[in-house]
Structure 1
């Protein structure tokens, strides 16, 4: 009863989410709705001595490795998404003193190029489905001209211009962030070309360039590296860590690929819709596009330590979920199967006495709770972790059953 009362008393604590990252230097360089906040990470790392090795096996936008580097620690991460690997490395790099002013100059040149370009220049744009839903013709023209200019640059300037471009394309889009995942604003973009739209997009880009130039001028006290890799099979190259601090994908069908589509198409990481589904299938918890159809035929090859508790809940979800029940039951099963593979892979990459801290939320499907936090703790105990604890951090939204937890443990 006490635990329930404590959980009910928790506020949503939005200072612990990505909203707290906005405007915090490099942490605000790109928005990813489900990401966790830098304040929470800094609290966990504040007492760590210089030289501490911090691993995040689900890098995302690079919050953990960047915070580690800011505090004089050594951050290291892997991510299955090449766009996020690029972004994390750009955010955690120390830039030459000449780079910020050169970036500002390049931003001005990009705008001049954009203004000289006509609608008939035949510039490239991505094959994003119904692209006209995302941008007005004027804004789209500006994005095409900026993309053309940036493609001719290289090195640090190219990378930072690309960050400004990504920020701009989402700022001037019809995307809305009034829900957990990205959606569209109620008013559709006009189909008529408006020069004012084009100019507004250019002004946004110039503002973003200036903001990035300002935060790029400060060196990081530590260091960080983000590598391409699967958290189940690609962590062997990491140095043994003192702490694993991460927020993995939640068991809620939130697709990071879906959230990142506009960036990834413009940055040429995606070309056709099937590319997104193929990449999401490689990610834990991914169910975008073709990943859904593949889930229908998936079957576990090995048991997990939580099967006794998990499988009955999966059966209840399958029974009560009508047509989608069996699919979502398979999703819940595969999610925990994949996380068990991950926990087995990451444990040897943690020093004796090292700690794990996994920020994760529970889920509900058709009235059945999926207590992810409890099953994480059970898997840690199965691997021999000591002092396994679950701390309730915050209430996630208006659904009184959903909370965010920190699951911790220490390797003997």
Structure 2
């Protein structure tokens, strides 16, 4: 019998909205992030000094909250921009560094202002149809700011870049009225926007940079302990270099084809982490649940037995990485997954969606096999995840995670319904939690 979720609320305070006005947590908007409130609730039982492992770090909510709670946190993230961003959030900025950054910001503003009337070919990122993102005046101001920011380095550069990211996204033609980021619509058969572009003057953009930088600096007053760190890597590979953890707390990508690379590409292009669409597609293909760009095309006809690039090419000594055949043979949810895939194949875009769902759960099963050895006996894991639907077929990710945990010998497995999601009346967010028994 299915649980009654009729009274479940949307609980915006458990989403990224709960972080907006909360110091460093609010530096940038990442829609898929959960809130510091949720992280605190899930780590509240841990003793000071306990070790937390976050394998899908995202924008760093878990390690930052762990720092604030006196916990030690190790984290992994495959996206190089998010690795940079989270480590910048976790850093300590001395009074001298803050003073130097303020002087640098003033210098950047002065230099950019002096170029307002000049015809200087500042660099702009190779974003496809960049004119749909920013009007010419705004783009010129952003390019000038970034050119002079790039003169600086180290922590000063990091703070300037965070402020720039806030301005860059805040002056764009992006809307967030859906689950994912999108551009405002264009007139049919033209490249002209079907809306009034933001009336930014050149000086408006510079003033906004000054304000955003000021807000970023105010969040630095409370120093951190510098015990948390984020390492770049694929969470389908071994965690042999990580210290044993008392708890795993994370929110993996959902099984809903939402691409984190797509969501973050403006940041990644402007800061030099991406230089082409092909590079973005390759990174998305390596990511769990990624299908943006050419990654979608690669799913047609996909199966683990014919895809040598299915597994990460990051080889490590220690924990053995199973072959695709071994993953298939050991998958605890194989029969339920096969039935769901059969239904999904019959629906719209089934030739892409069925392989996508198949690959997603093999990726996650491989992840659970890799992370199990680094969680201490007696430790806990908690995965914040949502269910999905494809052509009317539910993909109960929360239940299947629980079955994977059970197959690994975990006990006290329970699924807490956290909130109703905005996108569909059948979709919810859950915390799937389990305990790793102590050694006999």
TM range (shorter): over 0.9
Structure 1 residue aligned with 2:369: 344
Structure 2 residue aligned with 1:274: 278
Cα-to-partner distance string for 1:297-328 (whole Å, 9 max, x where unaligned):
3213331111111111011010133xx11210
Q: How many residues align?
A: 408
Q: CA deviation at 1:234?
A: 4.8
Give SS of 1:9's match: coil
Q: CA deviation at 1:14?
A: 0.5
Structure 2 residue aligned with 1:379: 404
Cα-to-partner distance string for 1:257-305 (whole Å, 9 max, x where unaligned):
0000100000111111111101000100000111111112321333111
Structure 2 residue aligned with 1:175: 174
Q: CA deviation at 1:197?
A: 2.1
Structure 2 residue aligned with 1:363: 388
Q: CA deviation at 1:186?
A: 4.9
- Mapping 1:162-241, distance limit 5 Å: 162-186=161-185, 196-221=200-225, 223-241=227-245
- Mapping 1:15-94, distance limit 5 Å: 15-94=13-92
TM-score with structure 1 length normalisation? Answer: 0.95
Structure 2 residue aligned with 1:311: 338
Unaligned ranges ≥5, structure 2: 187-191, 305-323
Cα-to-partner distance string for 1:319-360 (whole Å, 9 max, x where unaligned):
133xx1121011111000000000000000101111000000
Structure 2 residue aligned with 1:139: 138
Q: Is residue 259 of structure 2 the alignment partner of residue 261 of structure 1?
A: no
**Does the CA-based 8 Å contact 1:82-1:269 persist in structure 2?**
yes
TM-score with structure 2 length normalisation? Answer: 0.89
RMSD of aligned alpha carbons: 1.9
Mapped partners of 1:379, 1:273: distance in 2: 35
Q: Is residue 93 of structure 2 the alignment partner of residue 95 of structure 1?
A: yes
Higher share in helix:
1
**Does the CA-based 8 Å contact 1:79-1:226 persist in structure 2?**
yes
**Does the CA-based 8 Å contact 2:56-2:235 persist in structure 1?**
yes
Give SS of 1:351's match: strand
Comparing 46-55 with 87-96, greater Cα deviation is found at: 46-55
Mapped partners of 1:299, 1:141: distance in 2: 46
Mapped partners of 2:169, 2:120: distance in 1: 23
**Does the CA-based 8 Å contact 2:91-2:226 persist in structure 1?**
no
Mapped partners of 2:53, 2:74: distance in 1: 5
**Aligned CA distance change for structure 1 residues 11 and 116 (closer, same or farther; 3 Å):** same
Mapped partners of 1:349, 1:398: distance in 2: 35
Give SS of 2:9's match: coil
